[in-house]
Homo-oligomer: A and B are copies of this chain.
């Protein structure tokens, strides 16, 4: 054990970030703007305001201000479950016999079980401030839906959640957590929306996808007085709020006098990865420091590693704006792999641009190897990780083992986004030796690409 590095580093409340960091301000090549799906012209604030809260629209479109104040109410809420610890994985290092120094930023110590609460509370705050009655959203693994239901309960907002059907069935208790916080939860696709009916007619028996659930949630938000839609990933505003993860990590590392070499995060829509790397990426963009960034995605849904960089629909129902991103096509319905939070066909436009500019790497990993890493991590470090987070663990372990071969003492940081307490159906499959891997064929992907819109 390094004498000056504790197992866990917490910031004092007075050291916690008072501003979010907006990485777009430091990007030379800005992420491409959202387009109106009909006119193919950039979405205006007015158009976006039909779907999103006004203040969030401003944040969505702001690619010039590097820092945006965190309102005091949100700072106060953050203090209820933050700062999250920066943990030195001494036991994992020892078990691997690696000279690498492994750290993780653990975001799972709150009831939503993940980092999702960081943006949920911000979005609920702005909705409340605008005088809205409630919000609608989708959820995959259920972590975002839980986070939003917690945030809405705190501010007294109604919360309508569309939950991807496969997750709804695999995670019955997630629904009860959301209900305990007063939210309503509908499995998606559902018969309660036009777009849900259409998808069910076209794909009877579908287990759903985030893309479907988004379409349903947007339809309800736009059609209900006093409601807006909120989203837990992909959007610029979400990456902005999630920058609190990276900001806290950076401050903690500075206190310790340590600089990471490699920063690893799992990537579904990009909320965790974007939030974790943003402030470090800012340094890299400004030429102040260099880091290796690695996005980890499931090989069953490989938007960065095998997708196309193109304008695409954010949702299956094609009701949302077009976003330029690495995508598998909005018609791509991923296999029912167990990392529900990573089952999205596209990727944050900010991260897509950074990846296209070769400022970030990406790898894809298979499910069984992810759960092997998850089980190892649970037994050694004590925390039962979410399947999503375990993608990052897998690659952190792989990088640490490379260091063992080369003898390099690299410092690795990965984002441990959440806990797997509601993922025991997946763990059970793994424990019983029944888990399989799925890698889409080129033909599978071609079908998704065929649906890309012309822009």
Contact = CB atoms under 8 A, between A and B. Distances in A.
A375 B177 CA distance: 10
A79 B431 contact: no
A180 B382 contact: no
Contact of A419 (B12, B111, B375, B427): B111
Max chain B CB contacts within 10 Å: which of A79, A381, A384, A419? A384
A382 B110 contact: yes
A28 B375 CA distance: 48
B111 A181 contact: no
Contact of A421 (B182, B383, B422): B422
A199 to B, nearest CB: 28
A428 B81 CA distance: 25
Contacts of A180: 375, 378, 384, 427, 430-431
Interface string A416-442: 000101101101101100000000000
B427 A176 contact: yes
Given A109-B109, A110-B382, A111-B419, A8 B79 contact: yes
A98 B243 CA distance: 36
Interface in A147-204: 150, 153-154, 172-173, 176-177, 179-182
Contacts of A126: none
Given A176-B427, A176-B428, A382 B421 contact: no
Among A153, A382, A383, residue most surrounded by chain B Cβ atoms (within 10 Å)? A382
Interface string A70-95: 00000010011100000000010000
A67 interface: no
Contacts of A382: 80-81, 110-111, 150, 154
B7 A10 contact: no
Contacts of A1: 76
Contact of A182 (B172, B379, B381, B384): B379
Contacts of A381: 80
A16 to B, nearest CB: 10
A6 interface: yes
A79 B5 CA distance: 12
A122 to B, nearest CB: 15
Contacts of A176: 424, 427-428, 431
Given A13-B6, A81-B382, A424 B177 contact: yes
B431 A179 contact: yes
Contacts of A177: 384, 421, 424, 427
7 contacts: A111-B384, A154-B382, A173-B173, A173-B422, A176-B427, A179-B431, A421-B422
